[in-house]
Amino acid sequence: MSDRPHVLVVEDNKTLRRLLEYRLGKVYDVAVAEDGQRALAAVEARAPDLIVSDIMMPVMDGFALLAALRSEPDTQAIPFIFLTAKADDLSRQKGLRKGVDDYLTKPFDVDHLITRVGQIVQRSQVYQSRLTAKIGRDFSDRLLPREMPAEPGYRTVFFSRPKEDGGGDLFDWTRAGDGSYLFTVGDIMGKGLQAKFYAFSFLSYIRSTLHAMLRETVSPARLMQRVNEMLITDAVLEETFASLLLMRWEPDTHRLTYCNAGHCRPILVTPDGPGMVEHSDLILGLDLGTTYEDRALVLPPDSALLCYTDGLNEQVTRSGGMFGEGGVALGAQQALRAEQPVHALLSWLLRRSEKPTFDDDVLVFWLQRQPLHAGDGQASAPATGWRHHSAADHRQPNGA
Residues making contact with another protein (CB under 8 A) = 167, 187, 189-192, 239, 241, 243, 262, 264-265, 275-283, 285-287, 295, 310, 314, 322, 324
CB of 61 to another protein, least distance (A): 39
Q: How far apart are CA 398 and CA 400, in angstroms?
A: 5
CB of 184 to another protein, least distance (A): 18
What is the 8-class DSSP label of residue 283?
Answer: P
Q: How far apart are CA 216 and CA 229, in angstroms?
A: 18
Instruction: Rank residues 9 and 268 by Cβ distance to another protein and give the closer one.
Output: 268
Instruction: Rank residues 152 and 326 by Cβ distance to another protein and give the closer one.
Output: 326
> Is residue 82 within 8 Å of residue 102, measured between CB atoms?
yes
- Written as one letter, the residue type at 221 is A
Instruction: Rank residues 137 and 279 by Cβ distance to another protein and give the closer one.
Output: 279
Q: How far apart are CA 91 and CA 108, in angstroms?
A: 16
Instruction: Rank residues 153 and 162 by Cβ distance to another protein and give the closer one.
Output: 162
Considering Cα of 378, then 382, then 387, then 390, what sign does the dihedral take?
A: negative
Q: How far apart are CA 12 and CA 187, in angstroms?
A: 53
Instruction: Rank residues 63 and 202 by Cβ distance to another protein and give the closer one.
Output: 202
Instruction: Rank residues 147 and 287 by Cβ distance to another protein and give the closer one.
Output: 287
Considering Cα of 63, then 66, then 67, then 68, what sign does the dihedral take?
A: positive
Instruction: Rank residues 192 and 301 by Cβ distance to another protein and give the closer one.
Output: 192
Choose among 296, 294, 298: nearest CA to 281: 294
Q: How far apart are CA 160 and CA 308, in angstroms?
A: 10
Please give the full DSSP string across 227-266, using - where no structure is assigned.
Answer: HHHHHHH-STTTT--EEEEEEEEETTTTEEEEEEESPPPP
- Written as one letter, the residue type at 298 is V
3-state secondary structure of 183: strand
